Amino acid sequence: MSTRIHLSAPDVGPLEESYLTRALRSGWAAPAGPELDEFEREVAERTGTRAAVAVSSGTAALHLALLSTGAGPGTVVVVPSLTFVATANAVRYTGAEPVFVDCDPETGNIDVALVGDLLDSMRAQRRRIAAVVPVDMFGCCADYTSLLPLCAAAGVPVVADAAEALGASHHGRPAGSFGRAAALSFNGNKIITTSGGGMLVSDDVDLIRRCRYLSTQARQPAVHYEHSETGYNYRLSNLLAALGRAQLRRLDGMIARRRRLRERYAKLFAAAPGVRLLAEGDAGANCWLSVIVVDPVQAGWTAQDLARHLGGADIETRPVWKPMHLQPAFAGSRGLLTGAAERLFAHGLALPSGSSLTEDQIDRLTGRVKQFLDRR
């Protein structure tokens, strides 16, 4: 076994094995099956939504949700610049134009005041805005309290990218329950994994029904496979749903482990000037990734210095997402930018946050951080 300490490795064990084996032995190795139905029901319940459709990735869930808002050629979709590329790619798949908005420096989440300004200017230009897509950054919910009324007043639907946020909450309401629909991801490094998968959740049962239909090649209920429009092959398999169900049983425990790790980091860095934890005040976060932000002038060192020191001990760290407006794939895109995302990209560092880290690994990790700080 590798001694490398990863950022967020999958956390799977005997429970996952037993769920998968049971599903396999039940004869439902076909794409559809009872595990899939149950997994959808359980995730809908967990996110406080009425309906869900399990799909092959979080990106696929976003794509389908955007299609359901009418995103397409000639429309714009507002997305944060600070995000994983999937958010912006899903917009491109529909033919709509992504327009980027900068973030709140405290949380890394979409800057709601800027969204307001952008909606005003888009409407003044008579552009049709299909949707606003906030991202629950690193498992901390966007500021839905301000964002939802603003978008409702503008008549623009919100599609939440909750890919990182299963199990998180905002003022007591679960991540996934905000906006018209929300996309979840079960990729290998997310808070729970199906080794690859996602889900779209919503209170709008018709929306989910239509997305389920689009996710199965838009196949009409006829024995000869009738198709009157273009669909997608986006369905999650029954076996992977079984894996997801086992992971869901363990979600609260896994969040607790990640939270304890974040508390260790908070203690470690408390005495270090110029270092803060991103979204530290958010008690509802699922603590998917713990991210520090370093002010190099105050601290006397940079995020890159610490990354190098940890890398020397085979400990993985990573900068926060490189903002979309800096990505060659989105060169020339429009946006409303303040520099906040660029500063987080320059000074932020995601630290190992996985729930499968052993006590020995956590000791090795925190010892190495302490050694770095002591030498400053």
**Interaction of residue 68 with ligand PLP, rule CB under 6 A:** no
Nearest to 70 by CA among 155, 1, 146, 4: 155
Burial class (CB in 10 A: 0-12, 13-18, 19+), 339: exposed
**Interaction of residue 39 with ligand PLP, rule CB under 6 A:** no
CB of 322 to ligand PLP, least distance (A): 13
- Which token pair is 357? 């880290």
- Which token pair is 40? 């959808």
CB of 83 to ligand PLP, least distance (A): 5
Nearest to 138 by CA among 342, 366, 344: 344
CB of 248 to ligand PLP, least distance (A): 16
Q: How many residues bind ligand PLP (CB under 6 A)?
A: 14
CB of 82 to ligand PLP, least distance (A): 10
**Interaction of residue 202 with ligand PLP, rule CB under 6 A:** no
Burial class (CB in 10 A: 0-12, 13-18, 19+), 276: middle
CB of 157 to ligand PLP, least distance (A): 18
**Interaction of residue 83 with ligand PLP, rule CB under 6 A:** yes
- Which token pair is 299? 């601290």
- Catalytic residue chosen out of the listed positions 190, 267, 322, 370: 190
When the beta carbons of 81 and 185 are compared against ligand PLP, the nearer one is: 185
Torsion, CA 40, CA 46, CA 47, CA 51, rounded to 10: 30
Stretch that binds ligand PLP, among 160-168, 271-279, 328-336, 337-345 (CB under 6 A): 160-168
When the beta carbons of 36 and 163 are compared against ligand PLP, the nearer one is: 163
Cα angle, residue 127 at apex, residues 61 and 108 outer, rounded to 5°: 50
**Interaction of residue 59 with ligand PLP, rule CB under 6 A:** yes
| Helices 359-374 and 303-311: angle between axes, nearest 10 degrees | 130
**Interaction of residue 86 with ligand PLP, rule CB under 6 A:** yes
- Give dist(CA 54, CA 208) in Å, integer: 10
When the beta carbons of 86 and 131 are compared against ligand PLP, the nearer one is: 86
Widest CA span in the chain: 71
Place of tokens 């978008």: 151
Residues 230 to 289 in contact with ligand PLP, rule: CB under 6 A:
none
Torsion, CA 227, CA 230, CA 233, CA 238, rounded to 10: -50
Residues 182 to 201 in contact with ligand PLP, rule: CB under 6 A:
185, 187, 198
**Interaction of residue 161 with ligand PLP, rule CB under 6 A:** yes
Residues 90 to 149 in contact with ligand PLP, rule: CB under 6 A:
135
Other CB atoms within a 10 A radius of the CB of residue 296 amount to 14
CB of 141 to ligand PLP, least distance (A): 12
By CB under 6 A, name the one of 164, 280, 282, 342 that touches ligand PLP: 164
190 given a catalytic annotation: yes
Nearest-CB residue for ligand PLP: 58
- Give dist(CA 271, CA 275) in Å, integer: 9
Other CB atoms within a 10 A radius of the CB of residue 138 amount to 26
Give residues in contact with ligand PLP (CB under 6 A): 57-59, 83-84, 86-87, 135, 161, 163-164, 185, 187, 198
Which active-site residues does the annotation give? 190
